[in-house]
Structure 1
């Protein structure tokens, strides 16, 4: 079932010279083609979010520029009963020293990103996103609350021809978001916490990276759902990318399936059903008309972030867990999804 949305196949500027949304930029693409030539201050938001998972651990790195401040984060989760959780966050007033490029950071032809001191102390965070011939290098350093040194060194591969999902979501001529979501990218490397080293990748290489690249001009308050997963199931390498609520009424969605490197774009809004009272309850995601998605997500951990620091108020329930059910590609192939590791989040943001 082909989407009704316009597919973009040539490079395009996100904005017109006056900073408003370029109508030619509205649509989706199978690789990043937009140049986020944003103008204006106060409502402009830029970020790079990488999450790399193994069957036992995950690590997430965030570099963000929200105009009036930057929030850069390193997060590590060890799965299972008694699993440890580490989070280091650095707030940078006026986003001083944080500069994100107009295209995907660390991709070929784009700029590298480096934030924070080389030897961070206190609440400071060092994050590096660099282009290497073999892929994108992710490095990070910080001190945990327990004063343990935490170091990340990962390499995300770029398989030839692997497709991603880039979408422009237009609320209005002055409020819009460009998002580029990349799933099911092989990764390898290691994470060190104190004297303990955790290897990512290796034999079987069941280590996968997901990128959320965002550039846009946002309203003051917004609510969204985001779900993603990567891994092997039913003889295929599968990446799931789903969004909800924030795209409603815009004519765009950020829903897609990446199967063996090929993207299926889904133009329907998904039906998300979850318990507002119990963040650990299973939730369901379905396409109400096409039947291309019929999944249940069962969480095993909730990363709850509830903050209010004046200019920014954030309520996030980022649930990590597994997807089960079925999906169908554009060519009609039905794929059984079994225990695909990922997340589903529910966010309210005032920024």
Structure 2
């Protein structure tokens, strides 16, 4: 599959059909004392139960990051704080939905410096600093505070964590030495403000939503993936969409789920993705495990990086989700107009 041609539906790997993931219900360490993945951590959970303090620096393959995306009726906001062992990679991005004008700055700092990341979700602050870029993520009562600043743009957003709100935590094992722990937290109510060129705009409560991607692991050098997420209200219910593909194939783990009023409904299947980046405005189709979803983009955020041994190609399309989900043993829930994104990424890192 390339960015220049349409992507066929991705077949399910036999191992994905054969295995049902184990649900983790108690705290567990991601790694063993020797640094390999802990077999007892392989599975999924409704809360971030996995301790990743064993993922540090020095082995060349450790990847740690916090990515937040916030959608409002008028803007889309995003920040990334990350360390990939030999470099710190940060980004702040602000997008005006009406004019499609964007303000953004990214920084790759080699060797990694000016970065602070907690061992676990919400166990401490995350900060990233580089020339003309500052990011701070703070745990506060009832949620997380997201602050970011670049020339001509800044934002200050509170991402609430409602009581009983569930989050998808998954350990994905490629091998005993290559593995990833991801927490995908969607449909977090957001509020605050964004300032652009001296003008301040509201991030209105009840109409704004935050998504978190918390990652800790040791990755293969060359890998591709799809990720999609959406948050919003439809039919009087709060809907969260979380789908992924490519990178989990053959591992027995998936990062797929639908959230309804804060309750997580896990999808154990690998999903079929049908889309074409060459004609990115064409609706994407994602299906499987009771989910029949379409995603209609309105903007493609294109990022290309080539620093020799470190390179990436990302098309992150923003748009609207619609479709249906068959709740296991229950109703069929229809949703429409859910704002979010779907992306195609290839990284050499």
**Structure 1 length-normalised TM:** 0.91
RMSD across aligned C-alpha pairs, in angstroms?
1.3
Spell out, residue by residue over 1:250-309, the C-alpha distance to the aligned partner (whole angstroms, 9 max, x if none): 00000001110100000000000011422222110000xx4x110111100000011211
- Structure 1 stretches of 4+ with a deviation exceeding 6 A read none
Q: Which runs of 5+ in 2 are unaligned?
A: 1-18
Spell out, residue by residue over 1:61-110, the C-alpha distance to the aligned partner (whole angstroms, 9 max, x if none): 10010111111111111113x32111111221121131312101xx2xx1
Tell me what 1:86 maps to.
103
- The whole-number CA distance in structure 2 between the counterparts of 1:331 and 1:58 is 36
Tell me what 1:308 maps to.
306
> What SS does the aligned partner of 1:24 have?
helix
- The whole-number CA distance in structure 1 between the counterparts of 2:105 and 2:76 is 14
State whether structure 2 residue 233 is matched by structure 1 residue 217: no
Tell me what 1:77 maps to.
95
**Match of residue 51, structure 1, among 60, 69, 85:** 69
Q: Per chain length, whose mean CA-contact separation is higher, i.e. which structure has more relative contact order (CA < 8 Å, sep 6+)?
A: 2
Shift of 1:331: 4.0
Count of aligned residue pairs for this structure pair: 329
Tell me what 1:191 maps to.
194
Structure 1 segment 288-307 matched on structure 2, within 5 A: 290=289, 292-307=290-305
Structure 1 segment 122-133 matched on structure 2, within 5 A: 123-133=131-141
Spell out, residue by residue over 1:289-345, the C-alpha distance to the aligned partner (whole angstroms, 9 max, x if none): x4x110111100000011211121111000000011111223422111111101000
- The whole-number CA distance in structure 1 between the counterparts of 2:102 and 2:78 is 12
Tell me what 1:164 maps to.
167
**Structure 2 length-normalised TM:** 0.92
The more displaced of 313-322 and 94-103 is: 94-103
- The whole-number CA distance in structure 2 between the counterparts of 1:334 and 1:184 is 20
- The whole-number CA distance in structure 2 between the counterparts of 1:34 and 1:201 is 33
Spell out, residue by residue over 1:232-263, the C-alpha distance to the aligned partner (whole angstroms, 9 max, x if none): 01221010000000000000000001110100
> What SS does the aligned partner of 2:279 have?
coil
Structure 1 segment 125-164 matched on structure 2, within 5 A: 125-143=133-151, 148=152, 150-164=153-167
CA contact (8 A) 2:161 2:188 kept: yes
* Structure 1 residues 41 and 124: CA distance shift in structure 2, 3 A: farther
> What SS does the aligned partner of 2:40 have?
helix
State whether structure 2 residue 127 is matched by structure 1 residue 114: yes
> What SS does the aligned partner of 1:174 have?
coil
CA contact (8 A) 1:126 1:140 kept: yes
**Match of residue 183, structure 2, among 172, 180, 184:** 180
